[in-house]
C-alpha cells in the first residue's frame, strides 16, 4: 500500500506537467484542427527563459514564472502568425510538416545560441521532504508547488474559456469558424489568443520541470511533448477537461510502471496506451466523436 501511494503521489506531480502541456495541444486542435508538434519546444523555451530569469537576472520564482509564461505566449503567437496562418487553408499534411519544421527550428536555434550542453537550474525554492505512514511515503515541497501551481493555472484556464469574452469567442470559433466570423468575431485574433494561452501554459510547465529536475537542455521538449500529445488523445483531444484527466492518468500510469515493473518500460507503455485508445475509442475518454480524426 505504501509503494502504491508513493507512486500515485509521484504520478500526480508528473501528470500535472503533462496536463499543462496537453492543454495547449487540445486547445489548438479544437480551434484549427492542427497538431502543433512545436508545442513541446515552446515548453523547452519556457525552461530556458526561466533559467535566464533566475540564474542571470536574479529574479525569484514567481517573477521568473510570469516572465516565462509571457515570453512563451508571445512566441506562440509569433509561430501562429508566421508559420501557420499563411497555410491555414492548406492541406493538413502541409500544416503537420510545417509544425515539425518549426519544432526543429526551435531546437537547433536554441542549441546554436545556448549550446548543446545540459545546464543546471539554480535553487530558487527550498525543497523539503514530508513523510507519512512511518516514513514509508514521502512528498516534497517541490511536488506540492507543481501540483498547486498546475491546479491554479487549470482553474484560471477554465475561467477564461467559460467566463470571458475571448473564451466565448474561442468556443464559437471551435464550433463553426464561418458562423463565428459572420457574428463579428475576429477569427485571427481568437486563434492567436488560443496559441498564446496554450504556449503560456507550456512555458509554466517548462520552468516547473527545470526547477524540479534541476536540469535543462535544447532537446528536453521532444519526449514530454509526445507524452502530452498522448495525454491529449487519451483524454479526448479537443476537450479541455479531457486533457487534464489524460495528463494526470498518464503520469500515474507511468510511475506505477516504474514502481512495479521497470522504468525502462514507461515510455513504451505510453505509446501502447496511444495505440489502444486509437483502436478502441479514438475520441478519447471525454472526447466527442467526429467525422475526421488525425
Cell numbers for 125 = 525554492
Q: What is the pLDDT of residues 215-268, one digit of tens each?
A: 899 999 999 999 999 999 999 888 888 999 999 999 999 999 988 887 788 888
Asked if 247 contacts 228 with a C-beta cutoff of 8 angstroms, the reply is yes
Using a 10 angstrom Cβ sphere, with 0-12 exposed, 13-18 middle and 19 or more buried, the burial of residue 51 is: buried
- Tell me the whole-structure pTM to 2 decimals: 0.92
Domains of the chain: 2-118+136-280 (1.10.3470)
Question: Mind listing the pLDDT tens digit for each residue in 34-61?
Answer: 889 899 999 999 999 999 999 999 899 9
Task: Write the CB contacts of 200 (distance below 8 Å, at least 6 apart in sequence).
Answer: 69, 70, 72, 73, 76
**Residue 290 confidence (pLDDT):** 55
Q: Please give the grid coordinates belonging to residue 186.
A: 475576429
Let me know: does 222 contact 40? Beta carbons within 8 Å: yes
Question: Which pLDDT value is given to residue 92?
Answer: 83
User: Which residues of the chain, if any, have pLDDT below 50?
Assistant: 292-294
Amino acid at each position: 500500500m505504501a509503494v502504491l501511494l508513493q507512486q500515485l503521489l509521484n504520478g500526480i506531480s508528473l501528470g500535472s506537467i503533462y496536463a499543462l502541456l496537453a492543454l495547449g495541444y487540445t486547445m489548438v486542435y479544437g480551434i484549427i484542427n492542427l497538431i502543433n508538434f512545436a508545442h513541446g519546444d515552446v515548453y523547452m523555451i519556457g525552461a530556458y527563459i526561466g533559467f535566464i530569469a533566475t540564474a542571470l537576472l536574479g529574479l525569484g520564482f514567481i517573477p521568473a514564472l510570469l516572465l516565462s509564461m509571457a515570453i512563451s505566449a508571445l512566441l506562440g503567437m509569433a509561430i501562429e502568425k508566421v508559420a501557420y496562418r499563411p497555410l491555414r487553408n492548406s492541406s493538413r499534411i502541409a500544416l503537420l510538416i510545417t509544425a515539425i519544421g518549426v519544432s526543429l527550428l526551435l531546437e537547433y536555434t536554441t542549441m546554436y545560441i545556448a549550446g548543446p550542453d545540459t545546464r543546471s537550474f539554480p535553487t530558487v525554492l527550498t525543497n523539503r521532504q514530508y513523510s507519512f505512514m512511518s516514513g514509508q511515503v514521502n512528498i516534497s515541497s517541490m511536488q506540492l508547488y507543481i501540483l498547486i501551481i498546475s491546479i491554479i493555472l487549470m482553474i484560471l484556464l477554465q475561467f477564461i474559456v467559460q467566463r470571458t469574452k475571448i473564451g466565448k469567442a474561442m468556443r464559437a470559433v471551435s464550433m463553426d469558424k464561418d458562423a463565428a466570423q459572420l457574428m463579428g468575431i475576429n477569427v485571427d485574433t481568437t486563434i492567436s489568443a488560443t496559441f498564446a494561452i496554450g504556449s503560456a501554459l507550456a512555458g509554466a510547465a517548462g520552468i516547473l520541470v527545470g526547477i524540479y529536475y534541476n536540469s535543462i537542455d535544447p532537446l528536453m521538449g521532444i519526449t514530454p511533448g509526445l507524452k502530452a500529445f498522448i495525454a491529449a488523445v487519451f483524454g479526448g483531444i479537443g476537450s479541455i477537461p479531457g486533457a487534464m484527466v489524460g495528463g494526470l492518468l498518464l503520469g500515474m500510469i507511468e510511475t506505477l510502471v516504474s514502481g512495479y515493473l521497470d522504468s525502462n518500460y514507461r515510455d513504451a507503455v505510453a505509446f501502447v496506451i496511444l495505440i489502444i485508445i486509437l483502436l478502441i475509442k479514438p475520441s478519447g475518454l471525454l472526447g466527442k466523436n467526429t467525422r475526421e480524426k488525425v
